[in-house]
Structure 1
Amino acid sequence: MKALVYRMGGLGDSLLVYPVLEILTRKGYEVTVWGNPEYFQLAEKSGFCKKSIFYEPADQFDRIIVFSKNRELLHNHKTIYVEPLPDKRIWIVKYYLKKLNFERESFSEKLKLPFSIEKSDKLCIIHPSSGSQKKNPEPNFFLQLEKFIENCGYKVLYISGPAEKYFNKALFKNSIYLEDITELTKTLLQASLYIGVDSGVSHLSSYLGISSIVIFGPTDPVVWHPIGKNVTVIRDENCQPCFPNICTDRQCLRREKLIEKIKDLFRS
């Protein structure tokens, strides 16, 4: 049996459909993903799909799942369409599984990959940005955070990638640019701690089982929190999610509040 899954989107969007791929594969399907192959190469390495492609395949499939609003895409009697966004506050992974009648199916909360990477003791990787400037705290927050983390005995390494259009490397003394997902994964696996915002890199860190602190601002962690058991989400609960039409003052990303929340995590 063959299955085709269509999902275009960024790294985080792609990772959040990995459980669907895993379940289909466990059910005996040979899974092809039509999306961004860069973001699905880890699904191939973990055995969740056979291959990933960027263009519409010519093959015939027994089952087709399309995560898109476009009801004409791959339209036939075998196609199941899933709206990419839920119409209520529910974790996006649970929403996908419910739409596909996979609610009772289990999935891995840690991505298993054929890499043997030695962790660096007390290495904290910080990803200080995302593809949307609306979700990013001010750079001074990270500089203040860096001082605190170093005082706790950690070495800090900043990472950035092609999505960080607004990333200012000059502000951060110890930073590296990573474009390849496999190299990014191997770098993250060295960390004993990861801190980032709501981004694809944060989703990946959590999925890899790294102890992760993920900062949510205008986006809703109820819907978009990462896969993984070793992740802590921090957010100002007194401020309602408002993405993409964000408020002007962004109280949810106030530097003092975020620093205090992270300090509380270290104290506990």
Structure 2
Amino acid sequence: MVRKSLLIIHQGALGDLVLTFPVLMCLKKYYSRIDGICSSQLGKLACDLGIFHKNISIESAWVSSLYSDIIDKKIKDLINSYTDIILFSFSKQLEKAVNSLRKKNSYIIAPRPPLLNTNKNLHTADHLAALLVKHKIIKHNDLEIFHSLEKTGKKYQIQFPGRILIHPGSGSRRKNWPVHNFIELYDSLEKSGHNPEFIIGPADEFLSREIKKDNYPRIINKPPDLIDLNNLLKTGALYIGNDSGVSHLAAFSGLTCVIIFGSSDPVRWSPKGRAVHVIRDKTLECLPCFETREDNCCNHLCLTSISVKQVLDTAENLIFYLKEFKTYT
């Protein structure tokens, strides 16, 4: 039976939200309408992708009243207008506020799985799907749909030379492969006859200055918003980046991706897509430490040990494959 309407409340950043997209697409089987409350930029992207019907900005004053002692009537009425609510949050205050406003179903979903001291950590997307099954929001056999959606993406008919999109930033500088390595990678790809282009977001402007400082004419794209970013990603033949929200979006969009992991754990956070290739140093016993330490060690071995040649060889092999077969499935 198709239920009437669902409201998603999500407090996370781009990568966290993108990892929910496969399970949210599964939910369309059960709800005639899915709306969201998240950041304005993320919500516009989710609407553009057809994940949400509409989004309400979590930055709005009347929505923010959920965190205060006096809750705005407008948000009270909105909360009660939906058949079900799924709250992706660790905030006990937000959970308490939502539950105090309605008697209908509200489901609280931890946005990431707990850390384990073993190699049996669960991927965040699989964790979300398992909790939806546990709460009986979806059925166990829906996981087949979920796993197929994890690997969605257009089978691009790639015409080379195509754009090789390089994003040297992330939500944390701790996850960034050295920018001089990205610059060397760009120059090597260009000398090999390929068309590399940098993607720089508003938080990555310091990287833009590094890329420009030797006055070498490198192409730098600065998409003004996430919809423009997504449209740019659709024009690429290959994507290379760090563990970042942009990398998650690139993988979800169907691009063949080379993702460089340092201190964060690809078992938990690798982007989901049809062709994602993770590069990391598997020899270091200290990894992963991103979620357990406040800073990386002083020499950042997990990132500096990954050579430009290693990333370049992976990219060249993928380019050869894509030239030969035109698609990657």
The alignment's TM-score, normalised by the length of structure 1, stands at: 0.89
Are the aligned partners of 1:194 and 1:213 in contact in 2 as well (CA < 8 Å)?
yes
Aligned counterparts of 2:129 and 2:266: Cα–Cα separation in 1: 18
Query: Which residue, out of 79, 92, 100, partners 2:124?
Result: 92
In structure 2, the residue matched to 1:190 is 235
In structure 1, the residue matched to 2:38 is 35
Are the aligned partners of 1:124 and 1:157 in contact in 2 as well (CA < 8 Å)?
yes
Aligned counterparts of 1:247 and 1:241: Cα–Cα separation in 2: 12
In structure 2, the residue matched to 1:202 is 247
Are the aligned partners of 1:46 and 1:111 in contact in 2 as well (CA < 8 Å)?
no
In structure 1, the residue matched to 2:324 is none
Residues 92-148 of structure 1 show CA distances to partners (whole Å, capped at 9, x for unaligned) of: 110001011045321323357xxx999773321110111211111222111221122
| Structure (1 or 2) with the greater helix fraction | 2
Q: Percent identity?
A: 29
Report how far residue 241 of structure 1 moved. 0.9
- Pairing 1:69–2:84 present: no
In structure 2, the residue matched to 1:251 is 301
Over 3 Å counting, the alpha-carbon distance change for 1:150 and 1:53 in structure 2 is same
Query: Which residue, out of 23, 26, 30, partners 2:29?
Result: 26
Aligned counterparts of 2:97 and 2:271: Cα–Cα separation in 1: 28
Over 3 Å counting, the alpha-carbon distance change for 1:203 and 1:196 in structure 2 is same
Residues 150-196 of structure 1 show CA distances to partners (whole Å, capped at 9, x for unaligned) of: 23321111111123254233424321211211211111111111111
Over 3 Å counting, the alpha-carbon distance change for 1:51 and 1:111 in structure 2 is farther
In structure 2, the residue matched to 1:110 is 152
* Number of residues of Structure 1 aligned to a counterpart in Structure 2: 264
Are the aligned partners of 2:6 and 2:31 in contact in 1 as well (CA < 8 Å)?
no
The structure number with the bigger radius of gyration is: 2
Over 3 Å counting, the alpha-carbon distance change for 1:149 and 1:118 in structure 2 is closer
Report how far residue 220 of structure 1 moved. 0.6
Q: Alignment RMSD, CA only?
A: 2.4
Residues 190-219 of structure 1 show CA distances to partners (whole Å, capped at 9, x for unaligned) of: 111111111111111111111111111111
The alignment's TM-score, normalised by the length of structure 2, stands at: 0.73
Give 1:214-233 correspondences, 5 Å limit: 214-233=259-278
Aligned counterparts of 2:171 and 2:205: Cα–Cα separation in 1: 7
Gaps of 5+ in 1: none
Are the aligned partners of 1:122 and 1:153 in contact in 2 as well (CA < 8 Å)?
no
Aligned counterparts of 1:178 and 1:136: Cα–Cα separation in 2: 20
Are the aligned partners of 1:67 and 1:81 in contact in 2 as well (CA < 8 Å)?
yes
Report how far residue 68 of structure 1 moved. 0.8
Residues 227-247 of structure 1 show CA distances to partners (whole Å, capped at 9, x for unaligned) of: 201111111112311104222
Gaps of 5+ in 2: 64-74, 213-217, 319-329
Are the aligned partners of 2:165 and 2:238 in contact in 1 as well (CA < 8 Å)?
yes
Give 1:145-224 correspondences, 5 Å limit: 145-164=185-204, 166-172=206-212, 173-224=218-269
